[in-house]
Amino acid sequence: MTTRSLLILPGDGIGPEVMAEVRKVIDWLGAKRDLAFEVSEDLVGGCAYDKHGTPLHDDTMAKAQEVDAVLLGAVGGPKYDDLDFSVKPERGLLRLRKEMDLFANLRPAQCFDALADFSSLKRDVVSGLDIMIVRELTSGVYFGEPRGIFEEGNERVGINTQRYTESEIDRVARAAFDLAMKRGKKLCSMEKANVMESGILWREVVTRVGADYPEVELSHMYADAGAMQLTRWPKQFDVIVTDNLFGDLLSDLAAMLTGSLGMLPSASLGAPMENGRPKALYEPVHGSAPDIAGQGKANPIACILSFAMALRYSFDLGEEAARVEGAVEAVLAKGLRTADLLGEEGVSPVSTAEMGDAVIAELDASL
């Protein structure tokens, strides 16, 4: 029998609430589709710090290395703002990404038709939008050395280093080309080759990898121009590949095009494990939203869609992933809205749990 192991790390803020709705989907797949998952749960972020004095306990790290997929809610909150940098909740997430070597971060930005009017851009510009940003996740300025705050003469200097090796660029480029082959066969690579040597190397390596993918139409853009083009006419893009920091910015920008950060999932993938499945962590793009935590107001859709990505990329269950995505689309088409999606007249918000239950009802209806 195939085993499918999942480590769930709900984290802080709204993380536990949205994860509870994902649990419903996992249970549904077990009960109605005969797809069992071995689920374990643990702490990450502020809650891990509260219990262990570290945002990610070594035992949790070890478990994450063993399972087929990790599903994370969100980390952080104002309570932890004054903690030392080394134990801030975010460090737990960054450690997972780094030690699991999750170099390819997939961030789809898809506009649900029912929500096109929530975008800050005109409906016409975003309706039908379906792009994928592939962000390099384990290198670049996030991790480059030297880094730190140092004394220099009579003042301090803050230093971070943008650093990319050819092999780091090569592997994320391949991940992006592979995705482009399964989608619209268009890839745009973004860097700042006009001002950064790392950008020059990036462009050179991506071009070289492109020779192995003659069917994919490759283009290059400076990342600032890319940001401008993403707001001008986002539908010109299919897959975008970019570095860690530009990817952080551009994926937030792309997310907002779709109307709500509360809707977008992500997958972070590494090299294949012994069983052929890639090392993988799935998480919503949104944060821990401490201002609404514990009130049942959070939108569970990004987290549910992150689990759908796990079905597709870790468990080879693309059809079930599409079923979950279809259920979400159906719920939105029926007009159900969590508080982050209000604005239409006469619509009152549903709670986090009501949204989850509605998705389950649509799953039932799909059988």
**Which of residues 137 and 331 has its CB atom nearest to Mg ion in the complex?**
137
**Which of residues 20 and 261 has its CB atom nearest to ligand IPM in the complex?**
261
Phi, psi values for residue 45, rounded to 5°: 85, -145
- Tell me which DSSP letter residue 349 carries: P
- 49 catalytically annotated: no
| Pairwise CA distance, residues 100 & 62, whole Å | 10
**CA quadruple 357, 15, 22, 119: dihedral sign:** positive
C-beta of 234: minimal distance to ligand IPM in Å?
19
85 annotated among ligand-binding-site residues: yes
293 annotated among ligand-binding-site residues: yes
Whose structure tokens read 């050179």? 204
Site membership for ligand IPM, residue 90 (CB under 6 A): yes
> Which stretches of 242-287 are DSSP H helices?
244-257
Retrieve residue 290's tokens.
Answer: 């401490």
The active-site residue out of 142, 164, 213, 282 is 142
Give me the residues paired with residue 25 across strands.
Answer: none
- 212 catalytically annotated: no
Site membership for ligand IPM, residue 248 (CB under 6 A): yes
**Which of residues 266 and 350 has its CB atom nearest to Mg ion in the complex?**
266
Of residues 178, 248, 354, 357, which one binds Mg ion by CB under 5 A? 248
Quick one: which segment of 39-47, 231-239, 243-251, 317-325 binds Mg ion (CB under 5 A)? 243-251
Whose structure tokens read 């080879």? 316
Retrieve residue 126's tokens.
Answer: 């975003």
Q: Binding string, 204-243, against ligand IPM, x = CB under 6 A?
A: ----------------------------------------
290 annotated among ligand-binding-site residues: yes
Residue 90's binding partner among Mg ion, ligand IPM, none (Cβ under 5 to 8 angstroms by kind) is ligand IPM
Q: Which of residues 154-193 bind Mg ion (CB under 5 A)?
A: none
Residue 322's binding partner among Mg ion, ligand IPM, none (Cβ under 5 to 8 angstroms by kind) is none
SS3 152: strand
Q: What is the size of the binding site for Mg ion (CB under 5 A)? A: 1
- 192 catalytically annotated: yes
- 224 catalytically annotated: yes
Q: What is the size of the binding site for ligand IPM (CB under 6 A)? A: 4
**Which of residues 90 and 354 has its CB atom nearest to ligand IPM in the complex?**
90
Quick one: which segment of 5-13, 27-35, 88-96, 158-166 binds ligand IPM (CB under 6 A)? 88-96
- 58 catalytically annotated: no
CA neighbor of 44 nearest in space, from 281, 362, 334: 281
Cβ burial 144-183 (10 Å sphere, 16+ → b, else e): beeeeeeeeeeeeeeeeebebeeebbebbbbbbbebbeeb
296 dihedral zone (left: phi>0; alpha: psi -120 to 50; beta): left
Q: How many Å separate Cα 267 from the centre of its chain?
A: 5
Contact 65, 271 (CB under 8 A): no
| Pairwise CA distance, residues 258 & 110, whole Å | 6
Quick one: which segment of 56-64, 87-95, 115-123, 357-365 binds ligand IPM (CB under 6 A)? 87-95
Per the annotation, where are the binding residues? 77-90, 97, 107, 135, 224, 248, 252, 287-299
Cite the active site residues. 142, 192, 224, 248, 252
Q: Which residues are annotated as a binding site for Mg(2+)?
A: 224, 248, 252
Residues that bind ligand IPM (CB under 6 A): 90, 93-94, 248
